[in-house]
Amino acid sequence: MKDHESEEMYLETILVLKGERPAVRSIDIAEKLGYAKSSVSRGVSLLQDRGYIRVGDDGFIDFTESGREKANGIYERHNILTKFFMEIGADEALAESNACRIEHVIDDRIFELIKKQVNKH
CA distance 84 to 112: 12
Per-residue pLDDT of the chain (121 residues; tens, 9 = 90+): 456 668 899 999 999 999 999 999 999 999 999 999 999 999 999 999 999 999 999 999 999 999 999 999 999 999 999 999 999 999 999 999 999 889 888 999 999 999 999 999 7
Query: 52 near 64, Cβ under 8 Å?
Result: yes
pTM (two decimals): 0.85
The Cα 33–Cα 82 span in angstroms is 19
| Strand runs labelled E in the chain | 53-55, 61-63
DSSP 22: S
**Is 118 in contact with 87 (CB distance < 8 Å)?**
yes
